[in-house]
Amino acid sequence: MTSSRQRPGDPLAAAPIHAVAPATSRSTATPHDLYGELFVDVQMQRVFGDGKSFVDARPKAPPALIRARFEAERRLPGFSLPGFVHAHFALPGHAAASGPRLGIREHIQALWPLLVREHRDAQEGDSLLPLPRPYVVPGGRFRELYYWDSYFTMLGLAADGRRELAEDMLANFAELIHRHGFIPNSSRSYMLSRSQPPFFFKMVELLHEGDPATGFAAHLQALRAEHAFWMDGEAGLAPGQAHRRVLRLADGALANRYWDDRCTPREESWREDVGTAEKAGGRPREQVWRDLRAGAESGWDFSGRWCADPADIASIETTAIAPVDLNALLAGLEDAIALGAARSGDAATAGAFEARAALRRQLLQTRFWLAQDGNGSGHFTDLHRTDAQARRPLTAAALVPLYLGIATQAQADAMAAQVQARLLGANGLLSTTLNTGQQWDAPNGWAPLQWMAAQGLVRYGHAALARDIAERWCASVHRVYLATGRLLEKYDVAQDRPGGGGEYETQDGFGWTNGVFVAFKDGLLKAPAP
């Protein structure tokens, strides 16, 4: 559909959109489903500087009534779209993350309660999904429960003596799997068409640290449901074919990719995605939107690692790529299911998932390993679906196989050399070797990547390098905090300053930064230096 109130001379406002989205129930209808032309007008005319503001707003009347009023009033003389929106919607605020200036550890402890939310009852037209337990939001514009963010937040909650809140978050994720068959990107209706990196099994492991198999057994049904979500369509898939999140490679091996079940612009970034598709030349815009959405499912939204031309976001091709980190995490999930099934006495399931995990480990150690890259030792890499010889960039995702114990010792040693030579910045680990202006590329570093890299390097005997990464990153986080009073979602690992790039201003709060900082300080950086 297209807006009837386009701004003259604005090519983006004139772009019609007819992509068909999946049918939804009233309880999971997205803002675009509910408001149609009103939604498109608000986003395309940039009533709000941040497109997430409108999709997070709560209606003051039933959505059908608001939509009918809009249709009746929109062509009347003097109609004001901003005035209509402010009259009919309660706009969201930012998640509070401020307070008196304290020492950094005291500041983090004071932030936890400021970032806690409860939302138990559904409201018609509200995109926020109800959940049975309290949870921690990341902060800033991120006012809801996010999937992979939460694992790294939970590390800090557990270290700071807030285990009960971490258990509440695990219960919420189990409930989301029960309701939807998977964990959505966040607890918003407009993110129910995609997930995020599968860290549920790591959350279970964290809260059953002394006996993870017992935890996996207790959550076996949820773990298997999540695995089934990622593997949907594998049966009958011929070599070279793909379905949703599954790829069968030319040699018959199974791998996974990121995907989204919708092929419209992201509702929270509608105008930006329309603009990206306009710049994509002859590519079908639905494919561009699908790839942008798949990039959001990856959590790395966005990075040159997803693009045919790393400098051009319009060349994004996420669905053509089998990411090394996703496939490593799924091997970890398969191992967890095998352990949980064995503890439950289900030998058949345990054996089946042990075999799955072994096949995926072998695939990672062979097909996902680039033996020589022109810079000395090899490294783990993403695979391109149609071009097996395509050279993918070195990224911090290449450390995830170490984090999950999937690499050989020789591969881990080679990765340590690559980190030292190409990914280690003055203030921690670079996301990639690319400098594209996207937020998941150089010079930015992110808390989860520091954590997985350091834990993986320790696992393979490179404790000194791991400690160096943690020390550099924590010291920079502390220096930026002293200068600004803020804890941020991302940092520049070349200079002491907030990270930049991407579609929105750098946010503060910030759940996973707080969690990883605390976990480093109470773990790796508390232990005697090697």
For residue 438, with 0-12 CB atoms within 10 Å meaning exposed, 13-18 middle and 19 or more buried, which class applies?
buried
Retrieve residue 64's tokens: 């059908």
Q: 324 near 305, Cβ under 8 Å?
A: no
Tokens of 87: 């009259």
Q: Are 370 and 380 in contact (CB under 8 A)?
A: yes
**Residue 126 among the catalytic residues:** no
Which residue of the set 41, 301, 441, 508 is catalytic? 301
Q: How far is Cα 268 from Cα 32, in angstroms, rounded to an integer?
A: 10
Catalytic annotation present for 33: no
What's the chain's Rg over C-alpha atoms?
23
Q: 149, 297, 468, 489: which one is catalytic?
A: 489
3-state secondary structure of 432: strand
66: left (phi over 0), alpha (psi -120 to 50) or beta: alpha
Q: Which of 416, 411, 427 is nearest to 495 (CA)?
A: 427
The amino acid that residue 509 corresponds to is G
Quote the DSSP letter at residue 280: S
- Measure CA 172 to chain center: 17
Residue where the block lists tokens 């900082």: 517
**Neighbour tally for 131: CB within 10 Å:** 22
Angle, in degrees to the nearest 10, between helices 447-459 and 147-159: 70
Beta-bridge partner residues of 272 = none
CA–CA separation, 440 vs 260, rounded Å? 20
What Cα–Cα distance (Å) separates residue 196 from each residue in 188, 199, 242, 300, 473? 13, 8, 19, 10, 24
Q: Distance (Å, rounded) from C-alpha 212 to C-alpha 495?
A: 39
Do residues 245 and 230 lie in contact, with contact meaning Cβ atoms separated by under 8 Å?
yes
Which amino acid, residue 409? Q
Tell which residue, 396, 445, 449, has the closest CA to residue 425: 445
Q: Are strands 242-243 and 58-59 parallel, antiparallel or unpaired?
A: unpaired
Provide the annotated active-site residues: 301, 489
